[in-house]
Amino acid sequence: MTNQNVVVSKAKSVAVTVAVTVTVANQSMFSSSVPKPRTAEAGGGGGCFPIPRNIKLLKVETEGGAARVNAWVDSLRASSPPRVKSATETGDYSSWNLHHPSAMSMFEEITNYSKGKQIVLFLDYDGTLSPIVEDPDRAFMSRELLNYCGHFGQMRNAVKAAARYFPTAIVSGRCRDKVHSFVKLGELYYAGSHGMDIKGPSKSSKYKNGNQAVLFQPASEFVPMIDEVCKILVEKTRSISGARVENNKFCLSVHFRCVDEKSWAALAEQVRLVLNEYPKLRLTQGRKVLEIRPTIKWDKGKALEFLLESLGYANSNEVLPVYIGDDRTDEDAFKVLRDRGQGFGILVSKVPKETKASYSLQEPAEVKDFLRRLVEWKRLSKQQRN
């Protein structure tokens, strides 16, 4: 890329693509129900889904000057989701672990809950399938997990094997095409831009709805604005060493992992000043990243609900959704599972954090082991039935 502090995902053209336009109105809030999928036959123009016409912009507060910037910086210093202070300060991981036990140690409990149900897997990417790295363009599946079968690494093999037995989706804040270029598995569902860009399997899958294509893009109207803000932020943050702006098509990421903490306030101030001019965009944060998104009420939790609806499990008691993630933005999905009283969230973290997740895993290597064990359990279960 020509600009030193911008990361732009190179999206390859898709044979069948339909952009769904959102009409924004200041009326009632986004319906709590998930929009029902309407697919189109492959080759016939792609899939599209009805979007409620009454999506309301969320109220965003970007004014407040120094006080708001200071609040942002204080928040940036915390992990995401925020660490539980009492547990962190004492280093008492074991007490936190009593409430969020290891998914590996509680594996039998998880599989017992799944009896008679279809497990559906939802996986975050950065920090879950791939380690967090300084350069977001190099967030490949861990190089420590060396190849053991052809050109697939162990993590990729684990995800690929899981997708044979369970519908599997990657849900990321990254651009969908960028995540697909990292994972390179066509049998998965991909939800990029925090669920604002969803596409179904590109290759044959027993969980794919026949030959029907799945595509859902509720924030298409905001793409020109996102592009405009990206260019402005690249210029405004150019003087802040280590800052990187990543265009994820339907949202932006301002990475500050490589920014000296003394410059965080300056970076936050630049972002605040820019967003003051764009009230239809809002600011959230992840692990060493500021996320700029459209103000529609859509997040990873909504994406989870939408994908369950697409698979025919919207109001079903025969499904067990399992969402694995490490970031504050994954809490939206954990909360949905808590509210549904159905399925489990698994937080990937080595330190105690406030979370709605039921279980925990410490790092991507444990995620790989969990997926492998899940596959082996399912394989043996099928053999016993036969």
State pLDDT tens for residues 82-91: 555 544 444 5
Asked if residue 157 has pLDDT above 50, the reply is yes
| Per-residue pLDDT, 1 | 42
Largest CA distance in the chain: 66
Strand partners, 321: 120
322 pLDDT exceeds 90? Answer: yes
% of the chain with per-residue pLDDT over 70: 68
pLDDT above 60 (res 59): no
- pLDDT at residue 51 greater than cutoff 70: no
pLDDT at 66: 60
Going from the C-alpha of 292 to that of each of 20, 70, 275, 279, 303, the distances in angstroms are 20, 18, 9, 11, 18
Share of the chain above pLDDT 90, in %: 59
As given in the structure block, the two tokens for residue 129 are 């399938």
Local structure of residue 233 (DSSP, 8 states): H
**For 134, what's the count of Cα atoms within 13 Å in the CB-facing half-sphere?**
5
Q: What is the pTM of this model?
A: 0.75
For residue 166, pLDDT over 90 is answered with yes
Q: How far is CA 51 from the centre of its chain?
A: 21
| CA 55 centroid distance within chain | 21
| Sequential DSSP letters for 318-343 | SEEEEEEE-SGGGHHHHHHHHHHT-S
pLDDT (tens digit, 9 = 90+) per residue, 331-372?
999 999 999 999 999 999 999 999 999 999 999 999 999 999
Integer Cα distance of 88 and 383 in angstroms = 45
Out of 5-14, 24-33, 279-288, 350-359, give the one with best mean pLDDT: 350-359
Q: Point out the least confidently predicted range of 160-164, 263-267, 282-286, 320-324.
A: 282-286
Which of 328, 377, 313, 272 has the alpha carbon at shortest distance from 61?
272
3-state secondary structure of 182: helix
- Out of 108-117, 205-214, 277-286, which region has the weakest mean confidence (pLDDT)? 205-214
Question: Which residue is it, tokens 């996102």?
Answer: 226
pLDDT of 105 above 70: yes
Predicted confidence at residue 231, as pLDDT, reads 97
pLDDT at 68: 59
| CA 335/CA 323 separation, integer angstroms | 11
Closest CA to 360 of 376, 349, 373, 375: 349
